[in-house]
Amino acid sequence: MILDSKIPDGPIAEKWGKHKFNLKLVNPANKRKYEIIVVGTGLAGASAAASLAELGYKVKAFCFQDSPRRAHSIAAQGGINAAKNYRNDGDSVYRLFYDTVKGGDYRAREANVYRLAEVSRNIIDQCVAQGVPFAREYGGYLDNRSFGGSQVSRTFYARGQTGQQLLLGAYSALSRQIAEGNVTMFTRSEMLDLVMVDGVAQGIVTRNLVTGAIESHAAHAVLLCTGGYGNVFYLSTNAQGSNVTAAWRAHKKGALFANPCFTQIHPTCIPVSGDHQSKLTLMSESLRNDGRVWVPKNEGDKRSPELIPEEERDYFLERKYPSFGNLVPRDVASRNAKEMCDANKGVGASGLAVYLDFSDSVKRNGEPWVKEKYGNLFDMYAQITGENPYKSPMRIYPAVHYTMGGLWVDYNLMTTIKGLYALGECNFSDHGANRLGASALMQGLADGYFVIPYTVGDYLATIGPKPINASHPAFKQAEEDAKAYVNKLLSINGNQTVTHYHRELGKIIWEYCGMARSSEGLNKAKGMIQSLKADFWSNVKVLGEGEELNQSLEKAGRVADFIELGELMIDDALARNESCGGHFRVEYQTEEGEALRNDDDYAYVAAWEFKGDGQAEQLHKEKLVFENVKLTQRSYK
């Protein structure tokens, strides 16, 4: 298989404009003859569904939650990047592009990233027009703040609830299209399979989560906007329902899965408090604008923080990276926190935490100032830990937050299956081996508002508006497969709960495929996951019936897919004999302990092809060509 990224020719700044002109158009009267399925209603899904419906296409949108407004994009806190240069501080499209490629440790596609930076400016305009209440200054103009991996202030924000406000903006646009009858919305519906006819995506099979009914939906194109797979780690900042099922089932139907081992461990999360923990809570990266990260200089120093004098504190990020300080990219900050804890300098009862201290900022600006900027985050911290972060420093530790890997897509966001697209976190394309803060919201909305409306039209114009329905035998077959799958899960009736398997899987992945990976550990983990999979399918206990609201059953299917994905992540991490971004192989590091890339052999996208249950997946490589950014050892010193 040859992976054709379909990157347009020409200078980087002209590629997207030229490409848009070359894409075929569907005339307005014909648009209503096409049906498009959008799975997932987060930033990517809601913005795509709304924009396509505005153009005149007939859209069916699906989400597993009770309302499209609840997709996990809502939980994004800090902000959204855009190259507006409203601060006059040297920002530009090219700089945002450059920062993103460098931040991703040179494992992203240049052309995609440039387009992202280019349309970032339109996103802010669109959101403001929708009534998104971004933070403003007294003059009435939009405020900005700084985020990791950048030396300009380009992050637009709405207190610590930027994701919520952006999603509600996209949700309102979607709601308007639902009211106008252009979008049919299916809530509490989960995609269980992709249906293909003659090798082309033609629809999906879903399970109605309330009645359990297995249903077929046909369309001319299918858009997966289903988010990331961070919950493979069990504990992550993802929502409980976030899952890989739609993407994974599409993968098993032939869509290649790219860079699965590229996962992001976010440095500032609230540490784990006990075995009961079901999820981890992020404290926005924006806190690193004003908070200082430190540990005691002396090993095993268990004094409470206010008793540790200034000279016995190690502000390790400021010490090691003087020019970026506390605002180094996430992978660097996380790895350094781990190193400190490994060196027995961790704080708190578990020793698996470092301090994030606001005392200097409170002294300099006063408590009300800090409250205005970060109030909701401080409240959340206090609620979860029972401690007051205005008085004593926060304790933070890295946690899984985002997955850069995902379905392989070309420049048009089409997967290796014709007619199947992947948008937002669900695809792999823009963040390389590490995503910069405030770039996920940007990518989700860029894909949905400003990329897919152009590129899907080109495909639809090519295939023509032939009538389409779900009566093809492929749908019947997929429905029967889905029913058999549900019945199989219900019939095992073993001794262990689904959560047990999920927790065990998470422990394996976190330990061996988390912040540090080694060939030895990965090989061990592969065997462990294979036995876990065998045990799951012989010993899981799922109660109840298929034809009812059955949350254990929903979870069982998702965990089964996570187990399979986990094994692929291990294979991918094993095959990449270098360190880059969030993928840190202990065998490959510089003398100073930084990630050591191998550009000669690994400057490629690893795209994996499913070859059948129990078979090894086949690796395909898309070589990454850098014509604009010079590959260097990343330095934030």
Q: From CA 217, how far away is CA 203, in angstroms rounded?
A: 5
Contact between 295 and 433 under an 8 Å Cβ cutoff? The reply is no
d(CA 266, CA 332): 10
Burial (CB count within 10 angstroms: exposed 0-12, middle 13-18, buried 19+), residue 27 = exposed
Spatial strand order of the sheet with 394-403 comes to 263-269, 394-403, 354-357, 292-296, 313-314
Q: Give backbone dihedrals phi and psi of 465, rounded to 5 degrees, phi first.
A: -85, 50
DSSP 107-154: -S-HHHHHHHHHHHHHHHHHHHHHT----B-TTSSBP-B--TT-SS--
Binding of another protein by 304 (CB under 8 A): no
Nearer CB in complex with another protein: 210/343: 210
Q: Is 281 in the site for another protein (CB under 8 A)?
A: yes
Contacts to another protein from residues 328-357, by CB under 8 A: none
How far apart are the C-alpha atoms of 2 and 25, rounded to whole Å?
27
Nearest to 479 by CA among 421, 546, 414: 546
Of 174, 218, 172, which Cα lies nearest the Cα of 467? 218
User: Any contact of residue 86 with another protein (CB under 8 A)?
Assistant: yes
Identify residues 499-558 at the interface with another protein (CB under 8 A): 499, 541, 543-544, 548-549, 551-552
CB nearer to another protein: pick between 72 and 620: 72
275 lies in the binding site for another protein (CB under 8 A): yes
When the beta carbons of 537 and 626 are compared against another protein, the nearer one is 537
CB 186 to another protein: min, Å: 11
Beta carbons within 8 Å of 318's beta carbon, 6+ residues apart: 292, 293, 325, 326
Is the Cβ of residue 447 or residue 594 nearer to another protein in the bound state? 447
Query: Which range of residues in 101-109, 395-403, 495-503, 621-629 is near another protein by CB under 8 A?
Result: 495-503
| Among 39, 50, 247, 328, contact with another protein (rule: CB under 8 A) | 50
Q: Is 74 in the site for another protein (CB under 8 A)?
A: yes
- Contact indicator for 8, 15 with CB cutoff of 8 Å: yes
Contact 432, 106 (CB under 8 A): yes
When binding is defined by CB under 8 A, the residue of 7, 23, 75, 596 that contacts another protein is 75
State both tokens at 143: 């405020």
Return the residues of window 449-478 that contact another protein according to CB under 8 A: 449-450, 453
Q: How far is the CB of 246 from another protein (least distance, A)?
A: 16
Are residues 604 and 626 in contact, defined by beta-carbon separation less than 8 angstroms? no
H-helix or E-strand spanning residue 257: strand 257-258
> Judged by CB under 8 A, which of 33, 253, 279, 313 binds another protein?
279
DSSP annotation of 233: G
Distance CA 71, CA 565 (A): 22
Interface with another protein, residue 423, by CB under 8 A = no
For residue 27, the minimal CB distance to another protein (Å) is 18
Q: Do residues 541 and 590 make contact, with C-beta atoms less than 8 angstroms apart?
A: no
| Nearest approach, Cβ of residue 226 and another protein (Å) | 14
Exactly one of 330, 335, 395, 558 is catalytic; name it: 330
Work out whether 383 is an interface residue with another protein (CB under 8 A). Answer: yes
Nearer to another protein, 85 or 202 (CB): 85
Cβ 286 to another protein shortest distance, Å: 16
And the tokens for 19?
Answer: 């490409």
Task: Report how many residues bind another protein under the rule CB under 8 A.
Answer: 82
Contact between 593 and another protein per CB under 8 A: no
Query: Cα torsion at 379, 380, 382, 384 (round to 10°)?
Result: 160
Q: State the minimum distance, in angstroms, from the CB of residue 270 to another protein.
A: 10
- Decide whether 175 or 206 has the Cβ nearer to another protein: 175
* Cβ proximity to another protein, 104 vs 160, nearer residue: 160
For another protein, the closer CB: 552 or 628: 552
From candidates 152, 221, 282, 328, binder to another protein by CB under 8 A: 282
Report the nearest approach of another protein to the CB of residue 133 (Å).
4
Stretch that binds another protein, among 62-70, 220-228, 518-526, 528-536 (CB under 8 A): 62-70
When the beta carbons of 134 and 358 are compared against another protein, the nearer one is 134
Contact 34, 9 (CB under 8 A): no
Site for another protein in 231-260 (CB under 8 A): 237, 239-241
Q: Does 13 bind another protein (CB under 8 A)?
A: no
Ramachandran sector of residue 241 (left: φ over 0; alpha: ψ -120 to 50; beta: rest): alpha
Nearer to another protein, 353 or 568 (CB): 353
Which of 431, 434, 429, 427 is CA-nearest to residue 579? 434
Mark the segment that binds another protein (CB under 8 A) among 177-185, 316-324, 358-366, 526-534.
177-185
Give me the 101-140 binding string for another protein, x by CB under 8 A, dash otherwise.
---------------------x-xxxxxxxx-xxxxxxxx
Per CB under 8 A, 21 contacts another protein:
no
Based on the residue annotation, tell me whether 330 is a catalytic residue of this protein: yes
In angstroms, give the least distance from the CB of 350 to another protein.
Answer: 12
Angstrom CA distances, 184 to 37, 48, 224, stand at 10, 14, 16
- For residue 109, the tally of other CB atoms under 10 A from its CB is 24
Candidate ranges 46-54, 253-261, 304-312, 321-329; the one touching another protein (CB under 8 A): 46-54
* Catalytically active residues, by annotation: 330
